[in-house]
Amino acid sequence: MSIKIYFDLDGVLADFEQAETAVSQGVDFNRSSGLLSDEQKRAEAEFWRKIEGTDFFKNIPPMAGADRLLKAARKISGENMFVLSRAPKPEKFAAGETEQARVAEQKREWVLARFGAYFTRSRIFIALDGAKEKMIAHPQKWDILIDDRPETVDGWTAAGGAGVVFSSPKDAEGRLKKLAAAHKREYYDCRRVAVLELLVRACNGM
């Protein structure tokens, strides 16, 4: 079974925090809503109001070190690399689902403009509703999600996949290499078992 690697966008490949804090005057709210203070919740509501109808998501800077991470991932999985991100919920915008769809398209354009060497449009998945693990039918053991939210990685691994909680490109690269080494060991263990089974059958047939 080959390795497939799925990358979150905001907070992994895209430096959403840098772009967001510039608009929200230094208040960071790129985390689960249940963990936000009242001040952060007010700043979040004001942030979505300010960016609605703008090109905010097209202009987010790439995460420093993202290109190196992608190069390392390509050595591990070849072309089996995908973007798996979410668009903001429609209730965050006055225009609702219309603005949500516009933002989703901006995210696709962002990936193609900055990392088109790694991803085609068909490999960019932007969820409009629901959990990421529900976008991919039954994640397999070696379907690896790199995401900055632990709860998202937990949902993915519970569904059957493997996950890396992103803290930095360097750390994610190291964790990916460890998973790739485990995959390689499993592959050769399976090959050895298969060879032994063939030898046993050959001996029994003598």
| pLDDT tens track for 23-37 | 887 666 655 556 678
Q: Would you say residue 24 lies in a domain?
A: no
State how many domains the chain has. 1
Give me the domain span that covers residue 194.
4-14+62-204
At residue 57, does pLDDT exceed 70? yes
Q: Would you say residue 55 lies in a domain?
A: no
The confidence score (pLDDT) of residue 190 equals: 53
CB atoms within 10 A of CB 73: 23
At residue 201, does pLDDT exceed 70? no
| pLDDT tens track for 145-185 | 999 999 999 999 999 999 999 999 999 999 999 999 998 87
Check residue 15 and give left, alpha or beta (phi > 0: left; psi -120 to 50: alpha). Answer: beta
What is the maximal distance between C-alpha atoms in the chain? 79
| The token pair that represents 64 in the structure block | 């420093």
Q: Would you say residue 131 lies in a domain?
A: yes
Task: Provide the pLDDT confidence category of residue 135 given band limits of 50, 70 and 90.
Answer: confident
Q: Would you say residue 20 lies in a domain?
A: no
CATH number at residue 156: 3.40.50.1000
Q: How many whole angstroms separate alpha carbon 48 and alpha carbon 91?
A: 10
Q: Would you say residue 97 lies in a domain?
A: yes
Q: Would you say residue 197 lies in a domain?
A: yes
Cα angle 92, 98, 102; round to 5: 90
At residue 101, does pLDDT exceed 90? yes
The confidence score (pLDDT) of residue 202 equals: 56
Average pLDDT over residues 2-30: 87
Q: Would you say residue 179 lies in a domain?
A: yes
pTM equals 0.84
Q: Would you say residue 117 lies in a domain?
A: yes
Q: How many whole angstroms separate alpha carbon 45 and alpha carbon 48?
A: 5
| pLDDT tens track for 114-123 | 999 999 999 9
At residue 194, does pLDDT exceed 50? no
Q: How far is CA 16 from CA 33, 46, 73, 134, 188, in A?
A: 16, 16, 21, 24, 40
